[in-house]
Amino acid sequence: MLLTEFLERNAKLYEKDVSLVELNPEAHEKKRSSWKEYSLVEESKTEHYRREMTWGEFNEKANKIAHMLISRGVKKGDKVGILLMNCIEWLPIYFGILKTGALAVPLNFRYTSEEIAYCTDLAEVNVLIFGPEFIGRVEKIVDTLNKTTQLLFVGSGFCPTFADDFEEETAPFPVNNPEIPLSPEDDAAIYFSSGTTGFPKAILHAQRALSHAATVEQKHHGQTRDDVFLCIPPLYHTGAKMHWFGSLVSASKAVLLRGTTPETIMEAISNERCTIVWLLVPWAQDILEKLDFGAIKLADYHVKQFRLMHIGAQPVPQSLIKHWQEYFPGQAYDTNYGLSESIGPGAVHLGVENVRKVGAIGVPGYGWQTKIVKDDGVTEVNKGEVGELALKGPGVMKCYYRNPKATKEVMRGDWLLTGDMAKQDDEGFIYLVDRKKDVIVSGGENLYPVEIENFLRKFPKIKDVAVIGLPDKRLGEIPAAIVEIFDGKTCSQEEIDEFCLDLPRYKRPRKIIFAKVPRNATGKIEKPLLRKTYNAENIVEEQNRS
């Protein structure tokens, strides 16, 4: 089934059942112009701004949006950009676009004006739908956007003069399906890479890839109609949306939460009776820290129904999961691996039955194949050796849109080179070693930062750590560790140096930098930013020593 067919089925069979809930603890407004709205206060001192939508309303809204876009000239193969914070409007807009046969183009809500202009131009966006948080950024580039790009504003109250009001434009249209014929091989969406080597690349996916992502998620985590999924990461990213696809397949409720504090997460789990939560490592660490210090107490929350916590986007310390299970004994756990080029998480996953293997990213996911290859991108390495992880399956991208050179660099026939260095154990479990471009060459030795980071995370005072290579006249590069210490604790370089004596000498960090570890919205360490920051400082130090 295509994604739009899942939605139509749910609306027919479960019309009155709740599909989506939006929680925004930080919202100050009390009125909105669409769907059900009210405040919810349940055994909590925090007032949650809450909206909900049924499956019937979801599908009707998507249909109205599709008709509105078609009336504005949007046709099959056109592109419609989405620039919104997580909100209850997000997914109906996404599905409305798909129902027209156009391509949905989600944009990172952290993009600058320049990046918004670049991405909309690269993807050839015909319509840009944006929210109130982006008025200033869009206004700066109105004159530089393609002259045919239409602007639609989603938000109550003031609509900027350079855009049309989304709600007003959508209101008059019918709620029936526009019946645009779609096939699995039709282009469906353009997502953007994280842009770690410059401006992002546009990743083109077919309808079949979206459908496969939905099937994979439900197969891996067994969502049923009784489940409630708590979605916290940004919907523009494949990682969040493709996990929500499991709720679409099972026709179960999902909660969109704006806010990542331990209190808001735990209150959402408790008040909405959430059964499945996808967390990033920093959020899980923050919850455990608050539990350890007694700042929050499990007895204050309803968590008996909370059956599965899973993590992706980064390596997961074994100690974190062991600590988590001390508070949530018997709860299932999974690690999920993927990338936007493989339509998000699930290409590799640990499996809830394999908690003993925490530290591995797991085995090939449902419908996926993997291999670990040498530098030629084709020849497989021997088991236990490090090579580049390659993926094959229905979720592999069609191409980097309008970039055949970049496409050729990562595609080997039907196989996608991920850029992640990995190895496989005797049982077939895959372990990430590092990003290929993050490997440090020091004195002729290849050092893998993730290995050093995993070792340092065992030190009880370290909350987060990132290892990068810094220039060195004699060795070429040296490993440096940016170390973030838990709040309320103190730590010296001597302590860390002593702890690192258990590492082989050539793997020990030559420089310790105490600072906050920057992560993007999907939890990945921003190593390009760290290299840019500390490489410059290191060069100055080298020059001063000379």
The overall average pLDDT reported for the chain is: 90
CB atoms under 10 Å from CB of 288, counted, come to 16
Q: What is the pLDDT of residues 242-295, one digit of tens each?
A: 999 999 999 999 999 998 899 999 999 999 999 999 998 888 989 999 999 999
pLDDT > 80? residue 523: no
The domain boundary residue, chosen from 173, 198, 214: 214
Give the largest CA-CA distance in the chain.
74
Q: What is the pLDDT of residues 409-430, one digit of tens each?
A: 999 999 999 988 899 999 999 9
β-partners of residue 52 are 21, 36
- Kindly state whether residue 520 falls inside one of the protein's structural domains: yes
pLDDT at 41: 34
**Domain residue limits at 148:** 53-214
pLDDT > 50? residue 520: yes
The domain boundary residue, chosen from 158, 184, 214: 214
> Which two tokens mark 115?
């990046």
Amino acid at 290: K
Number of domains in the chain: 2
∠ Cα 494 500 506 (to 5°): 115
Q: Place 450 in a pLDDT band, splitting at 50, 70 and 90.
A: confident
Phi and psi at 393, nearest 5°, equal: 170, 175
Amino acid at 143: D
Q: Which helix (H) or strand (E) holds 21?
A: strand 18-24
Q: Place 34 in a pLDDT band, splitting at 50, 70 and 90.
A: very low
Asked if 431 and 454 count as a contact pair (C-beta separation under 8 A), the reply is no
Of 447 and 178, which is predicted with more confidence? 178
pLDDT > 90? residue 532: no
Q: What is the pLDDT of residues 37-54, one digit of tens each?
A: 333 333 333 334 899 999
- Kindly state whether residue 391 falls inside one of the protein's structural domains: no
- Kindly state whether residue 170 falls inside one of the protein's structural domains: yes
pLDDT at 485: 94
Q: What is the pLDDT of residues 196-250, one digit of tens each?
A: 445 789 999 999 999 999 999 999 999 999 999 999 989 998 888 999 999 999 9
pLDDT at 48: 43
Cβ burial 59-71 (10 Å sphere, 16+ → b, else e)? bbbbbbbbbbbbe
pLDDT at 195: 52
Q: Place 537 in a pLDDT band, splitting at 50, 70 and 90.
A: low
Top-confidence range, 4-18, 348-362, 448-462: 4-18
pLDDT at 315: 67
CA–CA gap between residue 351 and residue 370 (Å, rounded): 16
Bridge-based pairing state of the strands 103-106 and 79-83: parallel
Q: What is the pLDDT of residues 52-62, one digit of tens each?
A: 999 999 999 99
- Kindly state whether residue 252 falls inside one of the protein's structural domains: no
Residue keyed to tokens 């209150």: 267
pLDDT at 196: 44
- Kindly state whether residue 189 falls inside one of the protein's structural domains: yes
CA distances from 500 to 359, 481, 515 (A): 20, 11, 19
Q: What is the pLDDT of residues 107-147, one digit of tens each?
A: 999 888 998 999 999 999 999 999 999 999 999 999 989 77
- Kindly state whether residue 102 falls inside one of the protein's structural domains: yes
- Show the DSSP H helices in 46-134 as ranges: 55-71, 90-100, 113-122
pLDDT at 522: 67
pLDDT at 535: 79
Q: Place 320 in a pLDDT band, splitting at 50, 70 and 90.
A: confident
The domain boundary residue, chosen from 214, 240, 262: 214
pLDDT > 80? residue 73: yes
Q: Can you give the CATH number for the domain in which 205 is found?
A: 3.40.50.12780
Q: Can you give the CATH number for the domain in which 483 is found?
A: 3.30.300.30
pLDDT > 90? residue 313: no
Asked if 392 and 459 count as a contact pair (C-beta separation under 8 A), the reply is no
Q: Place 451 in a pLDDT band, splitting at 50, 70 and 90.
A: confident
pLDDT at 28: 46
| Residues 398-403, mean pLDDT to the nearest whole number | 97
Asked if 369 and 393 count as a contact pair (C-beta separation under 8 A), the reply is yes
